[in-house]
Amino acid sequence: MANMSYCRFENTLRDLQDCVWALEEGELENGGTEMDAAIKMLDVCREYLDLENKIDNIIEEDEDGESVFFTKNYGKI
């Protein structure tokens, strides 16, 4: 099922944390579609990490020291 745009990062974070837990617990078996997906997930995670600068630019602070992301979405406090 696809994520709704307003909560895709929240949902994906929970799912990714679940995958990390499963790997730590040894639940991934060698071979099969889950292994293929785990390998592809590594590639996508690397792509995401390459976007760190873009994320930093979104959350950078304005001249008042407030998060630009926060003020853009929620207004000044």
In this structure, are 12 and 37 located in the same domain?
Answer: no
- How much of the chain, in percent, has pLDDT values that exceed 70? 75
In this structure, are 18 and 47 located in the same domain?
Answer: no
In this structure, are 43 and 60 located in the same domain?
Answer: yes
- Half-sphere exposure of residue 18, counting CA atoms within 13 Å on the CB side? 6
In this structure, are 74 and 38 located in the same domain?
Answer: yes
pLDDT tens per residue across span 8-34: 999 999 999 999 999 999 999 998 999
Q: What is the pLDDT confidence band of residue 41, given thresholds at 50, 70 and 90?
A: very high
Q: Is there a contact between 47 and 69 (Cβ–Cβ < 8 Å)?
A: no
In this structure, are 17 and 36 located in the same domain?
Answer: no
In this structure, are 45 and 71 located in the same domain?
Answer: yes
In this structure, are 4 and 14 located in the same domain?
Answer: yes
- Domain with 19, as residue range(s), is 1-29
